[in-house]
């Protein structure tokens, strides 16, 4: 069973569209994250949720709206997609306490054309 | 702000050789972690070293941490072609209810058979 799963794996869409990426973890973790990895492999945290509550928002444009219906799910909705949004988006989860590791999903490669 | 900065950015060695990657960071941390990313895949946790530890081993991996210099190193001994991947350090800091992992830019390791 996959610990952190995200769908879809690939997403190609036109500028201006709205799209969603879904993430689910079956590890019982309290904390979930979204990271963006650009073409230079730089990983930047976007959001962090703890028990469905937003605790980190790293100056991400408000076109990006995370939603956590329960602590096992953290979805990412993106409005009015732009070319610069093209990247690989990773969902991750952790126990949210010090000295614990994060578990990552396989990533969603978003291409905006 | 970016925390970890790995060097070198890229490293190419022969199978059987040792590979050393370095990471520097800027602020206080709870722990430092190393992750591996195979091409097109998610990140996989390798090892975690706490801020009060100086060295840690796991199989062929050896990690050191020097909090006075704000630096860490990852040594992979007797490298194999299968070790070819990108390696990231991540600093973990706890502030209030936020437990945040901040990644460096990674080192691309190529192990030639």
Strand pairing category for A108-112 and A10-13: parallel
- Nearest CB to B99: which of A4, A42, A96? A96
* Structural domain span for residue B24: 5-112
Q: Residue A70 is part of a domain; what is its CATH number?
A: 2.60.40.10
Q: How many domains does chain B have?
A: 1
- CATH code of the domain in which B50 resides: 2.60.40.10
- Give the count of beta carbons closer than 10 Å to the beta carbon of residue B70: 18
Range of the domain at A62: 4-112
Q: What's the rounded mean pLDDT across residues A46-56? A: 86
Structural domains in chain A (count): 1
Nearest residue to B110 (alpha-carbon basis) of B23, B4, B21: B21
Q: Which of A41, A50, A106 sits opposite B106 (nearest CB)?
A: A41
What is the per-residue pLDDT across B10-48, written as a single tens digit (0 to 9) for each?
A: 999 999 999 999 999 998 999 999 999 999 899 999 999
Residue pLDDT, tens place only, A68-98: 999 999 999 999 999 999 999 999 999 877 7
Q: B42–A104: do the CB atoms touch at under 8 Å?
A: yes
Question: For B64-111, what is each residue's pLDDT tens digit?
Answer: 999 999 999 999 999 999 999 999 999 998 766 667 888 988 999 999
């Amino acid at each position: 069973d996959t610990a952190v799963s995200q769908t879809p794996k690939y997403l190609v869409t036109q500028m201006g569209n709205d799209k969603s990426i879904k993430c689910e973890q079956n590890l019982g973790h309290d904390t979930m994250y979204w990271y963006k990895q650009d073409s230079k492999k730089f990983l930047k945290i976007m959001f962090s949720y703890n028990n469905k509550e937003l605790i980190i928002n790293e100056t991400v444009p408000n076109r990006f709206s995370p939603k956590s219906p329960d602590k096992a799910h953290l979805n990412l909705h993106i409005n009015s997609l732009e070319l610069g949004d093209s990247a690989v988006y990773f969902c991750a989860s952790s126990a949210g306490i010090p000295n614990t590791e994060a578990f990552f999903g396989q990533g969603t490669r978003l291409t905006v054309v | 702000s970016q925390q970890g900065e790995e060097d070198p950015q890229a490293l190419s060695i022969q199978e059987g050789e040792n590979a050393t990657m370095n990471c520097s960071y800027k602020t206080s941390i709870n722990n430092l972690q190393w992750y591996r990313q195979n091409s097109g895949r998610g990140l996989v946790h390798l090892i975690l070293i706490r801020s009060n530890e100086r060295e840690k081993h796991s199989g062929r991996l050896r990690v050191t941490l020097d909090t006075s210099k704000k630096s860490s190193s990852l040594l992979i001994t007797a490298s194999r072609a299968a070790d070819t991947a990108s390696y990231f350090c991540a600093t973990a800091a706890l502030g209030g209810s936020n437990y945040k992992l901040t990644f460096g830019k990674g080192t691309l390791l190529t192990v030639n058979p």
